[in-house]
Amino acid sequence: MNRIMGLDFGSRTVGVAVSDALGLTAQGVEIIRREQENKLRRTLARIEELIVQYQVTEIVLGYPKNMNNTIGERAQKTLEFAEMLKRRTELPVELWDERLTTVAANRVLIEGGVRRERRKEYVDMIAAVYILQGYLDSRERETNE
């Protein structure tokens, strides 16, 4: 069965999640960190390794629009990253509105009693889970309609 990868692309990190084989649930995999925002070679190489490892056939990339639906600098960088991913992996890359995922991820960590210093370590991966789960749920709804 084909797995889908969810990515939360940040200025220095990429949170990674992968769907189960049935495409129903998203699980956090890891956070890829980089020293500088524009140094993406290692990040892309690691994503490619994970694609092979998990037999991924599609990528869902969180698309951080502004709350008023406009495209800011972060969203523009995400579009450029999406193009790089398409070229490097030759997989379809779906953009997914991620406006409240980091807020939700932080809330889950707070409710789980994770201390502030530790939350930064996990928030990107959990945001990737939210992005991917939102996408999987919407596909499921479309199938059932």
E strands in 1-91: 3-9, 13-19, 26-33, 56-63
Q: pLDDT tens for residues 46-70? A: 999 999 999 999 999 999 887 787 7
- How many Cβ atoms from other residues are within 10 Å of residue 13's Cβ? 20
- Token pair 């990515």 in the structure block, residue: 7
**pLDDT value, residue 3:** 96
**pLDDT value, residue 81:** 96
pLDDT at 127 over 70: yes
Residue-level length of the chain: 145
Q: Three-class SS of residue 31?
A: strand
Domain residue ranges in the chain? 3-144
Say what the pTM is. 0.88
What average pLDDT does this structure show over 78-97?
95
- Within 8 A by CB and 6+ apart from 126, the residues are 15, 28, 105, 108, 109
Superfamily of domain 3-144: YqgF/RNase H-like domain (3.30.420.140)
